[in-house]
Amino acid sequence: MRRVYVLNGPNLSRLGTREPDVYGSQSFAELTALCEKTGRELGLSVEVRQTDDEAELVRWLHEAADGGIPVVLNPAAFTHYSYALRDAIAQRTAPLIEVHLSNPAAREEFRHTSVVAGVATGTIAGFGMRSYTLALRALADLLDDTPARASAAGGREGA
């Protein structure tokens, strides 16, 4: 099974109690279980982590880069201003999908800017917890499209 990190920034541990009208009523434990279940279905070994500490999140991204580990990342509030996080993501050696429960572009103006989007493989936002399952499916598809797989198929796309 291919190892994947699902990394979460500040306040995500408060899911279910923090602004349920924006972030939903499901808990972080339920999000973790959903990600692990989706990962198993996709043949991925998913490790879910959460921190309120920017430096710890940067260390985890370095760990992922050093290990070639794909990442689903909800940078939370760090999305809008953390150049340290952006620089850590720029060092990635595997796909990284930025994910958000809500749609930042439909919220307060300060949330419209993502300093990490430009160095992520892609962004999925606005689908609640489904954003994570969509991101994991996107990662699984990207990992299936590796050059090694194309070579094994004789270089034919879709073989």
Per-residue pLDDT of 98-153, as tens digits, reads 999 887 765 667 666 789 989 999 999 999 999 999 999 999 999 997 654 333 33
Catalytic hit among 81, 100, 112, 132: 100
Of 115, 114, 85, 87, residue with least CA distance to 102 = 114
The upper half-sphere exposure of residue 119, i.e. CA atoms within 13 Å in the direction of its Cβ, equals: 19
Report, as an integer, the average pLDDT of 14-24.
66
| Domains parsed from the chain with CATH numbers | 2-152 (3.40.50.9100)
Residue 23 annotated as catalytic:
yes
Is 13 a known ligand-binding residue?
Answer: no
What pLDDT digit, counting tens, does each position of 36-94 carry?
A: 999 999 999 999 999 999 999 999 999 999 999 999 999 988 888 899 999 999 999 99
Ligand-binding annotation for 80, yes or no, is yes
Percent of the chain with pLDDT over 90: 65
Active site residue 112: no
Q: What is the pLDDT of residue 111?
A: 67
Of 23, 62, 81, 132, the catalytic one is 23
